[in-house]
Amino acid sequence: MANDVDRLDEQLAQENGHFHALLERHRSLDGEIDKLEDGRGHVEDLELSRLKRERLYVKQQLEFMRRRRQPNGQ
């Protein structure tokens, strides 16, 4: 299943610049949040919460675009 999503993401990223930008932003936020949670960075709890909300919002946009692309919501 993950491989199917990865393939779909790659295809959508090639075809759609907005999807590509969202995917890159999500990956960037993942890395930033992981770094902060692992103690390798310093940030206020409020800022970490903001980053997590943004990551969730971007993830929801990506999922919406994936569902629109897949036939019958598969």
pLDDT digits (tens, 9 = 90+) for 22-66: 999 999 999 999 999 888 777 888 999 999 999 999 999 999 999
Give the integer Cα–Cα distance in Å for 49 and 54.
9
| For residues 6-33, average pLDDT | 96
pLDDT at 74: 52
- How much is the pTM? 0.84
Where are the extended beta strands (E) located within the chain? none
